[in-house]
Chain A
Amino acid sequence: MREQIEGSRAIAQTVARCRPQVVPAYPITPQTHIVEAVGAMVKAGTLTPCEFITVESEFAAMSAAIGASAAGARTYTATASQGLLYMAEALFNASGMGLPVVMTVANRAIGAPINIWNDHSDSMSQRDCGWIQLYAEDNQAAVGLHVIAFRLAEELSLPVMVCVDGFVLTHAVEPIEVPAADVVDGYLPPFHPRQVLDPDDPITIGAMVGPEAYTEVRYLAHHQLNRARDRMPELAEEYALASGYRVSALSKYRVDGARVVIVTLGSVSGTIKDALDEVDDSVGLVTITLYRPFPADEIRAALACADHVIVLERAFAPGAGGVVAADVGAALSGLPTRVSTVVAGLGGRAVTKASVRGVIDDAKADRLPSLSFLDLRTDVIDHELARQAEADRPGPQTQALLRTAGVPASRIG
């Protein structure tokens, strides 16, 4: 049954129905509503048995999750932005040890300058930490992905990040169907790990490995992660049969016959679909849900007929360009397809239908550069660059920008 509910609360209720046994939690905006709601359920006794641990940092949260998972407990936590970066060392450790922790990342920008609003800089910075990464297109997908994530994690013995756009999804109140308890119970069996800390069967976990075997260990991690490429769509299909809601590893919209195809991740796909509905059939959209492991073959097949691929992403690699675009470009290697990167929606700047329409018009008129920043205020940039050209000393740019150009970030529409 659909109910009017906040995205975070729907995620929390879904996670609770997955019966996590340990939830270490540390607050960070915009993730807090999720762990607050989980904590309240534990305290009220409606989620039991479950240990809700209010740790002192995100590093401790992921570390406690590692310990709990190694001791055989189904483990969940949530974070965002700086918190994800503060966990970075433990993220690699959890995947390296094959611990099936499930974590929500309420996507948010990274400072400096400090910014609490949505983009994908946080999870993209950790794309190579060995976790499965799923990006939710909307809140209905977000709740389903969490249920799938536990099943996928525990089957493959790998941790999963469910990336949900901060505020845009986490704080949106809209009709969402939280999967029913019997649906989740039927889909997700209890967690019985093959290897667990047990006094009756003492094992050493986390031993040192030298040059003689490290490469093989890493290769096997790659091999294991790649298994999710096939398994995730199968589990998503099974979930669709159980719940009535389908989540695709890679979803296509108006791609058949399209000469220009936009590729994106997350909630911005909804805006892009609205924009596409107002133009002719020559433009389509591919939305990546399963980003790690990267579905290169599926991407190549989906984009094979396009002349021009536009990767619209909410993150970028300074000094290089697109992050997802680099993966897409590699997937298309050998094809004559042109790939452009549009960096959009950084730090919460709204990606409007009108702006997306502008991108489409530029592409059709063959004036979209290989790398562009959507809605970049060139007047502010030109002013600041001119000022810097006259300056005789180096210094930070943020404060100068605000001083000389007002507050451009206040213009979000």
Chain B
Amino acid sequence: MTTQGVKFYQVGSRAVGNRLLDPSLRTEQANPDRRNALNSGHRACQGCGEALAARYVVDAAVRATNGRLLAVNATGCLEVFSTPYPESSWQVPWLHSLFANAASVATGVSAALKASGRDDIRVLAQGGDGGTVDIGFACLSGMFERNDDVLYVCYDNEAYMNTGVQRSGATPPAARTATSEAVGPQPGNRFGTGKDMARIAMAHEIPYVATATVAELHDLEAKVERAMSMRGARYLHVLVPCPLGWGSAPSDTIRLARLAQRTGLFPLFEAEHGEVTSVQPIRGRVPVEEYLRPQKRYSHLFKDPPATAVIEAIQAIADRNIQRYGLLSEEA
């Protein structure tokens, strides 16, 4: 029988090991009685960041609501891989309608619960970046504007992965997708495009907006918990690396999510009523190249000669985020 020594610290991070934590601070995934809202047996790819994030988010939301939770899902990878007829991975009541309308459907569910005196039951809506920042944008903005009692979670893998990796309004500059190919004088996605959905959500002055990644799962759970302690429209934007779409190793999903945060390309923060209330400082800052190089979607930047100017332009985006959110303040 093979044995493995106890590791107290995860390699390459400063995150404390779960078993050293006080039981009340442990992740819900350490709870043997957890709901397992997204059960095993679904069809997600190996190393899928979205499946991991959804499992943590929904289980944390179930815990925060004492099991009184309904989930609404946009069309997309999460919907397709979790509910191939006649099977379902969902251990919570779950409703899928269309690609663009998850926020509006959730609004309707929330209204029905209120009208029928069941508003102890809470509503979670989920979608990918395409269903959130592109086709579902109007519905989501309407839900924010009316301050409907819904937590909307966007699992952002930065392109339309379900349809075969096409560019979305959340695809970062220079990234290669099937509709922003690595050809021509400016290979990959154009600069100067895309939506910063968390800041757009903040502009609606809704009660709570937060960003998270699958590298910081305790942080992700804490933000779900915080969101579920409030009423009204709340938004959580989670970076979920996609090995298929990013051209990365399935074993690198967590590492890439961590690098996205440590480069400054994906800042972690919370905001309430339009004001940033907390940021997660970057400890051990790394240049963007470390994040870009392991991903085949950026491989055109690292040919001979490398696209130095493009890499510098991406670094400038990271630098701007660091400045905007004061991500180095603690370390400085």
Q: B-contacting residues of A (Cβ < 8 Å)?
A: 21-22, 24, 49-51, 53-57, 59-61, 63-73, 75, 89-90, 93, 97, 197-199, 201-210, 212-213
Query: Residues of A contacting B84 with CB < 8 Å?
Result: 207-208, 210
Q: Is B105 an interface residue (CB 8 A)?
A: yes
- In the complex, the chain A residue whose C-beta lies closest to that of B120 is A199
User: Contact between B142 and A205 (Cβ–Cβ < 8 Å)?
Assistant: no
Report the Cα distance A97→B94, complex, angstroms. Answer: 13
Q: A-contacting residues of B (Cβ < 8 Å)?
A: 67-70, 72-73, 79-80, 83-86, 88, 90-98, 100-101, 104-117, 121, 138-139, 141-142, 145-146, 148
Query: Residues of B contacting A59 with CB < 8 Å?
Result: 100-101, 104, 138-139
Report the Cα distance A95→B105, complex, angstroms. Answer: 15
Report the Cα distance A340→B18, complex, angstroms. Answer: 78
User: Contact between A71 and B83 (Cβ–Cβ < 8 Å)?
Assistant: no
Once A93-B98, A202-B90 are accepted as A-B contacts, the answer to whether A53 and B111 lie under 8 Å apart by CB is yes
Query: Residues of B contacting A89 with CB < 8 Å?
Result: 98, 100
Query: Residues of A contacting B101 with CB < 8 Å?
Result: 59-60, 63, 66, 90
Report the Cα distance A204→B37, complex, angstroms. Answer: 12
Once A55-B107, A63-B98 are accepted as A-B contacts, the answer to whether A199 and B92 lie under 8 Å apart by CB is yes
User: Contact between B94 and A202 (Cβ–Cβ < 8 Å)?
Assistant: yes
B123–chain A nearest beta-carbon distance, Å: 9
A316–chain B nearest beta-carbon distance, Å: 30
User: Contact between A54 and B146 (Cβ–Cβ < 8 Å)?
Assistant: yes
Report the Cα distance A72→B109, complex, angstroms. Answer: 9
A–B Cβ pairs within 8 angstroms, 20 of them: A24-B107, A53-B108, A56-B138, A57-B139, A59-B101, A63-B101, A63-B108, A66-B101, A67-B97, A67-B106, A67-B108, A70-B95, A71-B116, A72-B116, A97-B97, A197-B95, A197-B109, A199-B68, A207-B96, A213-B86
Tell me what chain B mostly uses at the interface: helix, strand, loop, or mixed: mixed
- In the complex, the chain A residue whose C-beta lies closest to that of B65 is A199
User: Contact between A208 and B111 (Cβ–Cβ < 8 Å)?
Assistant: no
User: Contact between A73 and B93 (Cβ–Cβ < 8 Å)?
Assistant: no
Once A89-B98, A93-B98, A208-B83 are accepted as A-B contacts, the answer to whether A68 and B138 lie under 8 Å apart by CB is no
A236–chain B nearest beta-carbon distance, Å: 29
User: Contact between B85 and A199 (Cβ–Cβ < 8 Å)?
Assistant: no
B105 touches which of A57, A67, A202, A203 (Cβ 8 Å) = A67
User: Contact between A208 and B138 (Cβ–Cβ < 8 Å)?
Assistant: no
A77–chain B nearest beta-carbon distance, Å: 10
Once A51-B115, A63-B139 are accepted as A-B contacts, the answer to whether A56 and B145 lie under 8 Å apart by CB is yes
User: Contact between A63 and B105 (Cβ–Cβ < 8 Å)?
Assistant: yes
Query: Residues of A contacting B90 with CB < 8 Å?
Result: 202, 204
User: Contact between A204 and B146 (Cβ–Cβ < 8 Å)?
Assistant: no
Query: Residues of A contacting B86 with CB < 8 Å?
Result: 207, 213
Report the Cα distance A356→B79, complex, angstroms. Answer: 54
User: Contact between A66 and B115 (Cβ–Cβ < 8 Å)?
Assistant: no
User: Contact between A197 and B111 (Cβ–Cβ < 8 Å)?
Assistant: no
Query: Residues of A contacting B115 with CB < 8 Å?
Result: 21-22, 49-51, 68, 73
User: Contact between A199 and B96 (Cβ–Cβ < 8 Å)?
Assistant: no
Report the Cα distance A270→B86, complex, angstroms. Answer: 51
User: Contact between A206 and B97 (Cβ–Cβ < 8 Å)?
Assistant: yes
Once A56-B141, A209-B85, A213-B85 are accepted as A-B contacts, the answer to whether A199 and B111 lie under 8 Å apart by CB is no
Once A199-B92, A209-B85 are accepted as A-B contacts, the answer to whether A67 and B98 lie under 8 Å apart by CB is no
A65–chain B nearest beta-carbon distance, Å: 6
Query: Residues of B contacting A56 with CB < 8 Å?
Result: 138-139, 141-142, 145
